[in-house]
Structure 1
Amino acid sequence: MILASPSPLGVALGIATALAYGSTAAAASRLDRKASQILLGLAWLLHAATLIHGLATGHARFGFAPALSVTAWLVLTVYAVESRMYPHLNVRRVLALMGGAAVLLALVFPGSPLHVSASPWLPLHLALGIASYGLFAAAVIHAWLMGRAETQMRQATAPEGGLPLLTLERLTFRFVTGGFVLLTATLVAGLLFSEQLYGTSVRAWKWDHKSVFSVLAWLTFGVLLIGRARFGWRGRAATRVLYAGSLLLLLAYVGSRFVLEVILHRTIA
């Protein structure tokens, strides 16, 4: 899901963005924190320019790869804000690799145009869904950092100055909570206003693969939040539930669109 255009300028911006991300990942271990952050910031700006160019063209295109591209940019935006408060959050190489891969995928699989009968409100509905993807992706990265920190503590190899486990855990569940709220809004809008959003040719609600996986993901995240609030779930048990819910959510849109676009070669928006 992205407002993007496969124009020559859009392709050039995408290639420049991927190169900037690749350079950041390759040089991350040789540069100091400030220099690598500058490189990552440049890649982030190029990524933003690619998305803005798509908005300026006015041709809405949607697909699994553009959805991953926007999600990666949102995660990097979260990191840009968060690194100001927590300078020891060192995941620049991982984020650069993720961003570069997502941009390249969006160049190869740019998605399909939005149906002409769709409502002007549809981009807002899709934006809610993408924002929930971004927040859950940020939660997954923090959960991974939390697991890595736990392993390092057990092996007595934890670096000095790293983020405390409790801080990582608190950040993880803040992102889960925010993503759950946005996912709930997305599902409610799809349940109640599908015909208005997608056009009268679309049924109000249908239990296709996307709907089933989305609801399963929503239930999984709801169970996770209830389990944490009522039973104090934390650590590996909580992160496993988070990973399961995130996988279901990934299958909901990205997985179903991948099957339609790449395997079945269908271009339904």
Structure 2
Amino acid sequence: MILASASPLTLTLALGASVAYAASATGAARSGQTLTRVAVWLAWSLHGVLLAWGLWGTEPRFGFAPALSITAWLVGLVYAIETYIYPQMKTPWLLSSAGSAAVLLALLFPGAVLHASASAWLPLHWALGIASYGLFAIAVVHAWLMTRAEARMRMANAPAGLPLLTMERLTFRFVSLGFGLLSATLLAGFFFGTQLYGPTHAIKWDHKTAFSVLSWLTFAVLMVGRFRFGWRGKKAVRVLYIGTGLLLLAYVGSRFVMEVVLGRSL
């Protein structure tokens, strides 16, 4: 935890983004869509500048909390866009609350300073890898909303919002994009690990790699099941949840143990 060493710019951006996310959560809970949309875009903009400064600023850092912060930023971006494409779609207040919490968590745990021996492309490699987290997180949120809407329909309480088939298509579009990005990230790590991490920090078979491969295999099963055997509903959602859980353990889980529990740097 290095809150005391945070720069004034970092503190200002983090607090501003957190407050804007909180305002969007309040608007979502009270069905104030105008306030929600303005606050979401403001929060996303401040959050994006904060992430860029953290990755490419005077002292670049990365860790489990910045990884979660990037994930929350991507989810916020997608929902900010979706509320314009699909006006009937409301931003769940829980997402904005999660964005606010992720910003503050990254402020408390900014991660370790990147090694000088690492490639200048390493932050981009990490960002692309975490982008797959974001896409799968978005897919999970859509799947959760779809499951909740289906349950309400069975109780003769039809919700206002996107049709279930539209929500299902969106869910698996994000799964497909996330799977492609995760595949590219793993291939880059396997074939260019030494160039990215330096000769003493090349990729190796550890908990992070094992969980990443397991999550990739789980998503591969989901993709085959979906497009070859027509999986949908609870079966497909359960596999999505399992794969996302494994992916979360891969980097965020392993880095949390290293940074917080064991107190070790990268």
TM-score range, shorter-chain basis?
over 0.9
Tell me what 1:212 maps to: 210
Question: What is the percentage of aligned positions where both structures have the same residue?
Answer: 61
Alignment partner for residue 246 of structure 1, among 226, 244, 247? 244
Unaligned runs of 5+ in 2: none
For 2:113, the aligned partner's letter is: P
Q: Equivalents in 1 of 2:86, 2:6: separation in Å?
A: 37
Q: Distance in 1 between matches of 2:29 and 2:97?
A: 13
Cα shift readout 1:210-261 (whole Å, capped 9, x = no counterpart): 0000000000000000001111100011000000000000000000000000
| Equivalent residue number for residue 165 of structure 2 | 166
259, 262, 266: which is aligned to 1:261?
259
Q: Which SS does the other structure have where 1:28 is aligned? A: helix
DSSP 3-state at the match of 2:29: coil
Counterpart mapping for 1:121-136 below 5 A? 121-136=121-136
CA distance in structure 1 between the aligned counterparts of 2:123 and 2:39, rounded to whole angstroms: 31
**Aligned residues, how many?**
262
SS of the residue corresponding to residue 115 of structure 1 reads: coil
**Which letter does structure 1 place at the counterpart of 2:111?**
G
TM-score, normalized by length of structure 1? Answer: 0.93
Instruction: Quote how far apart the aligned CAs of 1:23 are.
Output: 2.5
Aligned-partner SS, 1:185: helix
SS in 1 for 2:191: helix
> Is 1:90 equivalent to 2:96 in the alignment?
no
- Superposed displacement of residue 61, structure 1: 0.7
Map of 2:21 onto structure 1: 21
| SS class of match (1:71) | helix
Q: Alignment RMSD, CA only?
A: 1.5
Instruction: Report the equivalent of 1:195.
Output: 194
The residue that corresponds to 1:152 in the other structure is: 152
Question: Post-superposition shift, 1:59?
Answer: 2.4
Structure 2 Cα separation of the partners of residues 199 and 53 of structure 1? 23
Work out whether residues 14 and 104 of structure 2, in 8 Å CA contact, stay in contact via their aligned partners in 1.
yes
**In structure 2, what is the equivalent of residue 228 of structure 1?**
226
2:36, 2:137 → 1: CA distance?
22
Gaps of 5+ in 1: none
CA–CA separation in structure 1 for the residues paired with 2:157 and 2:42: 32
Measure how far apart 1:56 and its partner are: 5.6
Stretch of structure 1 that moved more, 113-122 or 34-43: 34-43
Q: 1:153 to 1:90 in 2, by over 3 A?
A: same
Contact 1:136 1:175 in 2 (8 A): yes
Distance 1:124 1:55, change over 3 A: closer
Cα distance in 2 for partners of 1:37, 1:72 equals 16
Letter in 1 for 2:114: L
Match of 2:111 in 1: 111
Deviates more, 1:214-223 or 1:117-126: 117-126
- Following TM superposition, by how much is the alpha carbon of 1:178 offset from its aligned partner in structure 2, in angstroms? 0.4
Give CA deviations for 1:63-83 in whole Å, capped at 9, x if unaligned. Answer: 111100111001111112222
> 2:201 is aligned with what amino acid?
V
Alpha-carbon distance between aligned partners in 1 of 2:56 and 2:67, rounded to the nearest angstrom = 18
